A and B are shown apart, each in its own frame.
Chain A
Amino acid sequence: MTASELPTIYSITESEIDLNDLLEKITLTSTGAAAIFTGMVRGVTTRGDAHETEYLEYESYVPMAEAKMKQVADEIRERWPVIEGIAVVQRIGKLYPKTPTVLIACTAAHRDTGVFDAARYGIDRLKEIVPVWKKEIGPNGQEWVEGDYIPKPGE
């Protein structure tokens, strides 16, 4: 199978992230392992600036975000050619503590193929270049969360 025939899912959605559905879509008959990262809204933060969160409000520049998610998937395939399926999904809208907000899943024939590193790379890269922002609403008001990564030419 060539890379273009392998299942690659990338989307910004306002709907609940359905892990089972995504996993089924990126599992081939040759697949024996999946590494899945999902992030959720943290209600209580203790590391660093300790605070509580009532909810997060996410927004996105959707067409660019989906194009950049595809780019992240392409970069994963370039670095780990053994990866079979890739799913990159970001949920937007108003999201409450314990709710999954993002999911990166990579599948491969075996677990010792770099599949864990591939998923890790995917979430790190998403947080660098995919245009999504969140506003944090807590007991003391609201504040936009700003990242610190400045993309370079070609990214």
Chain B
Amino acid sequence: MNHIKLLFFATIRDRAGVRSMEMDIPADMTIAGLKEKLSVDYPNLKESMRSVLMTINREYAFDEAVVPANAEIGMFPPVSGG
């Protein structure tokens, strides 16, 4: 198992109800797998999973990427700065 930290922002944080959480995931889990797991474990987040942007260690990450040990995973909607 890999230990990871999740950081939630904006709408995703509102739905999660927390700013961050830590969890253990299988060592070969991909971003797609992680999204699936979160949809099941946290039904509030299910709707967000279609449009969420995911990052691994502060770089944008996509469905097929494998989540490394001790990863910092960011989860947020498309950005709206400026």
Contacts and interface: CB of A to CB of B under 8 A. Distances in A.
Interface residues of A, number: 34
B42 interface: no
Contact of A63 (B58, B77, B79, B82): B58
A155 to B, nearest CB: 6
B2 interface: no
Contacts of B10: 59, 133, 135, 144, 146
Contacts of A155: 60
B77 A133 contact: yes
B7 A61 contact: yes
B81 A90 contact: yes
Nearest to B9: A61
B62 to A, nearest CB: 6
Interface string B39-82: 00000000000000101001010100000000000101111111
Nearest to A147: B78
Given A59-B9, A133-B9, A150 B81 contact: no
Contacts of A149: 78-79
Interface residues of B, number: 18
A56 B77 CA distance: 17
Interface string A120-154: 00010011111111110000000011111111110
A32 interface: no
Nearest to A68: B58
A129 B79 contact: yes
B11 A146 contact: yes
Nearest to B55: A64
Contacts of B55: 61, 64, 131
A127 B77 contact: no
Contact of B77 (A123, A126, A129, A147): A147
A48 B7 CA distance: 33
Instruction: Among B9, B62, B74, B78, find the residue whose CB has the most chain A CB atoms closer than 10 A.
Output: B78
Interface string B6-46: 01011100100000000000000000000000000000000
10 smallest beta-carbon distances between A and B, as pairs = A132-B81, A147-B78, A133-B10, A64-B58, A145-B80, A151-B60, A147-B80, A146-B77, A127-B82, A147-B79
13 contacts: A61-B9, A64-B58, A102-B82, A127-B82, A129-B79, A132-B82, A133-B76, A146-B10, A147-B78, A147-B79, A147-B80, A148-B78, A153-B60
